[in-house]
A and B are shown apart, each in its own frame.
Chain A
Amino acid sequence: MDSLDTLARWRTAQIAGVLVIALLALAAPLRAAEDDQIIRKEAWSFTGPFGIYDRAQLQRGFLVYQEVCASCHGMHYLHYRNLSEAGGPEFPEAAAKVVAASVEVEDGPDDQGEMYMRPGRLSDAFVSPFQNDQEARVANNGALPPDLSLMAKARPDGVNYLYSMLTGYADAPADVSMAEGMYYNTAFAGHQIAMPPPLFDDSIEYTDGTPPTIDNYAKDVTAFMMWAAEPKLEERHRVGFRVMIYLIIVAGLLYVAKRRVWSRGAH
């Protein structure tokens, strides 16, 4: 009936909505981009509103972490129990127990007042490779290998950056003079990274038929790091979908109710 009026009001509401979204959308990309880092965009199973992790990929990624990264990088916000929890690599609990038992954990004091070492349990946090930052630096030519628990969220465009960095090693161009002990990397800020190239074709054995290439290793371990940083992502997407459906229905009902209430009183 009063379609024009409704149209005008609806338009105001739309403008308001668009403004809110525009204000917020403007906000994030406003970080000054680093000079000339080459970041390749990869398609990930966990992006988008319905994204979930690829279990097999997380399991392979854990293997890469375990075989390569773990010798220098800790992941101390992860616990061994997480490896068998829903929404992650979902290893059988027995497998997670084996992984945990493969490390030595300091415990105590016992009834003699002594600290002692025991095999790890599911309830233990991942054991870091070094006792402290100083020991880590001494072992790594002065550079500190950062903890990887949150790495996928701690860099702009985290996962694409990590994947690009792991696959970004190259020979330095002739006009670039490299500092001693540094490696040329196309994705790293400043292009000089202290970490030696960690991945080589065929260096880790995959049992599920995935080609054992640098590219696949990098992709898999990046997905694993994403899960480590965001272990509740699947739950978040699942709950989010229900909440959105609920809110859209509520908004629709309120709109109809509003129209009916106002048609009584407005004229």
Chain B
Amino acid sequence: MAHKSNYVPQSAFEKWLDERLPVVRLMKDQFIDFPTPRNLNYWWTFGGILIFCLIAQMMTGIVLAMHYVANESMAFESIEHIMRNVNWGWLIRYTHAVGASMFFAAAYLHMFRGLYYGSYKAPREILWILGVVILLLMIATSFMGYSLPWGQMSFWAVTVITNLFSSFDSVIPGLGTRIVQWVWGGFSVGNPTLNRLFSLHYLLPFMIAGVVILHIWALHVPGNNNPTGIDVKRSSEAMPFHPYYTIKDGFALAVFAIVFAAFVFYAPNYLGHSDNYIPADPLVTPTHIVPEWYFLPFYAILRAIPSKLFGVIAMFGAIMVLFVVPWLDSSPIRSLRYRPMLKLFFWAFVVTCVALGYLGAMPPDGIYLLSARLGTFYYFAFFLVVLPVVGRIETPTQMPGSITEDIMSKERRRRAALEGGAPAGAPAAPEKR
């Protein structure tokens, strides 16, 4: 939403700065005055929450890196050193470990919100694509971070995931093995592997931060979508970001922080795996190698496909397909509020994702395998079949003409309900600020 700048430099210095680097103007225009639809609900607060998560992960991570030793014979011990001897080390490490889970929980809710309200549709395709890029970077970062304690699950997760590249052997014999050895820096997962994982784990968050800046930029050109999916048509339908959304996001963040803190202080290991408190042992394979919960749906898809190569392709495809969602959806209507048929398919998709998460933790045989295959089928069918087809065949429900009309009709219903059906005493106030 391009809007006129309201910034007036107050002092000679501000004027001087504004003519050279208008950073104060940028801040005022984009984070104080920025016109934001007035009808955003609490599902729109996860963007701010995610920025908090990224900053929290980076700050705790930088402190952890001051004490952590990236060496196969010292990594595990250095974590215990942090937990026992470093001042507040237990708090910093548990916050970082739980923080990864909270980050993904918030990111997934943020994405489901984008899907539900059609936030990926024109003119926000780039915004959505940048979000998928951030998701990919987050997946890479958290996978590498999970390897660093060099416990049993760390070691074997690295072994299993890096070995996926060996599936290229079935395309060109020897190619996969070469790639795997190049990734490992040797003939098995070892010290060179741990060192590069640590190096990249420190690098990628800064890349995430860079893409986040682009993501916000891409958001601030068309402005926010909103629950009606209807563009803002007059200035009274928007309100300045500050104080209205700073305070709303702030409240949502505080509630999120309560959940976050409950895990950190009362169940810090609940989301982890007990095997990761056993030091890595290349000679002992854990009975079940299970990824962190936020990877389980993708893990279920990987194992649902009988061929290793196609399993790997399906797993990565499950994320890659997100890139083309803006062009798969054939309906011009953004919000699922007015798309009764797709709404059903959407909730079935949400249930499928949760179910795949459950199946990813179960052994891949019998009913579990069959269900995972059905789930994988629906996961892809939702994007490749449902989104293109439903837009062509469904009849949308009656849409309000504008955000104002939507708010007014809600207001009328609210008053009618409050006054027990009696005729409203006064006509609804015209929307004005």
Q: Measuring CB to CB, which residues of chain A are less than 8 angstroms from any residue of chain B? A: 2-5, 9, 12-13, 16-17, 19-21, 23-24, 26-28, 30-32, 34, 49, 77, 82, 146, 149-150, 153-156, 158, 189, 229, 231-232, 235-237, 239-241, 243-244, 247-248, 250-251, 254-255, 257-258, 261-262, 265-267
A153 nearest in chain B by CB position = B277
How near does chain B come to A128, taking the closest CB pair, in angstroms? 14
How many residues belonging to B are interface residues under a CB distance threshold of 8 Å? 64
A243 to B265, CA, bound (A): 9
A156 nearest in chain B by CB position = B274
Partner of A31, one of B254, B361, B414: B361
CB pair A32 B362 closer than 8 Å:
yes
Q: Measuring CB to CB, which residues of chain B are less than 8 angstroms from any residue of chain A? A: 38, 41-43, 77, 80, 83-84, 90-91, 94, 101, 105-106, 108-109, 239, 243-244, 247-248, 250-252, 254-259, 261-266, 268-271, 273-275, 277-278, 287-288, 290, 293-294, 296, 354, 357-358, 360-363, 410, 414, 417-418, 429, 433
CB pair B271 A28 closer than 8 Å:
yes
Residues of A near B244 (CB, < 8 A) are 261-262, 265
- Interface core residue of A156, A244, A247 (most chain B CB under 10 Å): A247
Partner of B42, one of A5, A9, A156, A262: A9
CB pair A247 B258 closer than 8 Å:
yes
A92 to B275, CA, bound (A): 35
- Interface core residue of B266, B268, B278 (most chain A CB under 10 Å): B266
CB pair B247 A26 closer than 8 Å:
no
A43 to B194, CA, bound (A): 40
Residues of B near A21 (CB, < 8 A) are 259
A248 nearest in chain B by CB position = B258
How near does chain B come to A202, taking the closest CB pair, in angstroms? 33
CB pair B256 A20 closer than 8 Å:
yes
Given A28-B270, A32-B363, A258-B247, verify A23-B277 contact (CB < 8 Å): no
CB pair A247 B357 closer than 8 Å:
no
Residues of A near B43 (CB, < 8 A) are 12, 16
CB pair B42 A154 closer than 8 Å:
no
Partner of B414, one of A5, A82, A153: A5
Residues of B near A247 (CB, < 8 A) are 254, 257-258, 261
Residues of A near B38 (CB, < 8 A) are 265-266
CB pair B90 A236 closer than 8 Å:
yes
How near does chain B come to A38, taking the closest CB pair, in angstroms? 18
CB pair B418 A4 closer than 8 Å:
yes
Instruction: List 5 contacting pairs A-B, 8 Å CB cutoff, sorted by A.
Output: A31-B290, A153-B269, A189-B287, A240-B261, A247-B261
CB pair B80 A250 closer than 8 Å:
no
Residues of A near B433 (CB, < 8 A) are 265
Residues of B near A9 (CB, < 8 A) are 41-42
A49 to B296, CA, bound (A): 29
Partner of B248, one of A23, A236, A258: A258
CB pair B414 A4 closer than 8 Å:
yes
How near does chain A come to B344, taking the closest CB pair, in angstroms? 18
Given A150-B80, A153-B277, verify A13-B418 contact (CB < 8 Å): no
A48 nearest in chain B by CB position = B266
CB pair B354 A26 closer than 8 Å:
yes
A158 to B274, CA, bound (A): 8
CB pair B83 A232 closer than 8 Å:
yes
Residues of B near A31 (CB, < 8 A) are 273, 288, 290, 361
CB pair B293 A265 closer than 8 Å:
no
Residues of B near A146 (CB, < 8 A) are 278
A12 to B261, CA, bound (A): 22
CB pair B296 A30 closer than 8 Å:
yes
A31 to B264, CA, bound (A): 21
Partner of A24, one of B105, B278, B410: B105
